[in-house]
Structure 1
């Protein structure tokens, strides 16, 4: 009898270990705002805001970030226009080279602009990262949160910017690029905070963190709305008609309701500033985002990266559901 009990205990332990190995829980790291990942040759290259540098993680699975290889690929020198407040870096492989985009200032928020680094090495964890300079349109206005994507063999940049020079409203802009570090067209404004769920934040209203999302031939932009300092930070959606030019704002439609927002029941507040990735086998769609574990935590260092699988409606609208509670075991992305 004792032998049987020991065998059953061993089996239970093995089953528990297998379940632990095939599942994960959120958050992925104790902290890390504005998470982003890029998948290439079997590895995910992950970044998030560190405020003073661009740090890159390399891993087979984003669920293993805590033990993943990491390196600082860039730390700006002091006393220049991009020395401080390094926000929302993204490392992407474009046109045969690696590029790292980030927003930074010389010390004042009004100075925020977008900058880019380049690395020709096949592995972005090695080789030399060269500072290519500022990425801007002719207006050279305040700009953060750039995402670069390709549509019909043309490169485009989307970002959050100011219409003027005063911090009162952040809008979503798009422009065409002639190469990964040069904008070649005028900027076009695609979205302004107009619905009540986009305007929480007192004097400053916010549309930021735009990310391109493709589903078949459909192109969408998912963005974050309302101030990150509020518990009402949420995700909105812009859809391209598929006709005409991406630079024609009339071809873009805004979804009237947020697609992802605070879940008091699950104790997840202010989910947003997301990015997207596919499972290693390419069959599953996943959203990577940050959120707070308590109300009122705002934009500080307590925001943590999380991920969960999502699907699409028959009309191609992403269905993110509710942000999953911490500690809930989720099945890892399919391999």
Structure 2
């Protein structure tokens, strides 16, 4: 039996909000926020570790002016109905930093077999109930329904962003009810900012898990978890149980600070892999959003006997890690 190939972190330096997707063609596809926040890159490799040296392809660049001209954040690449889609957030250029939290959500489409080729077509803004700060969209399919999960500011709720879910009529249009499933309420969710963002979905063991990130993007950044039964009404907020404690956070002993904005992928043997970013130092000069050293990291995601995920602790840099 082949031994699993160990991961060595960081897998990709200076790539925050990492998204790794293993496609049916055997390739791992990667995208994430670049430090310049000015473009969307995609790369692919036959192995997760191989993404480190894979050539990135810039598939889209920001505009000079308008709503797609600044702070291109957190792209995710999805394969839906035989086409590729990239969901991302963008803001407009302003003379002051007030535009920093002016994001809206957008989507690109590509019908090529290989998303590093062909044309990426802008499908426009994902319209929600409010015209307000919105970002970090993800999608998943369940029982034949396409769902959209995202973070947004409700003008009537104190705080920066809550998590919402909605059905979609197609990969760029919401339909029906838009429901809040989490709002920052615990002490660990409101340090610096009142934030729930960066949702990622994992369906396992008869349940649907949504991990998310909370608090400011410095060493206080951490992850929480929502859980619903797979047979529940996912548009009913009561279907979602929220962990009262963070499930993944800074570990000074391993030298990992502010782990979060995760995604999930699978190893070649089908076992689950946790993907996230973190820094390897605590003290940051200036605004953490302009510190480029949130690196992409991976490690095996383990499972408890009751069928719930065990995120463990963020592993140290440079040391091989497998099961």
Q: Over aligned residue pairs, what C-alpha RMSD do you find? A: 1.8
Q: CA deviation at 1:213?
A: 1.1
What's the offset of the Cα at 1:166?
8.7
Which residue is 2:33 aligned to? 49
Pairwise CA distance, 1:323 = 0.4
Q: Which consecutive unaligned segments of at least 5 residues does structure 2 have?
A: 94-98
Normalised to the residue count of structure 1, the TM-score between the two structures is 0.88
Structure 1 counterpart of 2:279, from 278, 288, 292:
292
TM-score normalised by length of structure 2: 0.91
Q: CA deviation at 1:70?
A: 1.9
Q: Distance in 1 between matches of 2:63 and 2:313?
A: 41
* SS class of match (1:186): strand
Partner of 1:259: 247
> Is 1:170 matched up with 2:138?
no
Match of 1:3 in 2: none
State the 1:153 CA deviation. Answer: 0.7
Query: Which of 137, 154, 168 is the aligned partner of 2:128?
Result: 137
Structure with greater proportional helix content: 1
Is residue 210 of structure 1 aligned with residue 196 of structure 2? no
Task: Show the counterpart of 1:235.
Answer: 223
**Residue matched to 2:81:** 95
Q: Which residue of 2 aligns with 1:277?
A: 265
- Deviation larger for 52-61 or 101-110: 101-110
- Give the number of the structure whose alpha-carbon radius of gyration is greater: 1
Number of residue pairs the alignment of both structures matches: 309
Q: Distance in 1 between matches of 2:82 and 2:303?
A: 31
SS of 2:176's equivalent in the other structure is coil
Cα shift readout 1:219-258 (whole Å, capped 9, x = no counterpart): 0100001111x31211100011344421110111101111
Where do 1:1-335 residues align within 5 Å?
A: 22-40=5-23, 41-50=25-34, 51-107=37-93, 108-164=99-155, 168-201=159-192, 204-228=193-217, 230-282=218-270, 284-297=271-284, 298-299=288-289, 300-331=291-322
Shift of 1:321: 0.8
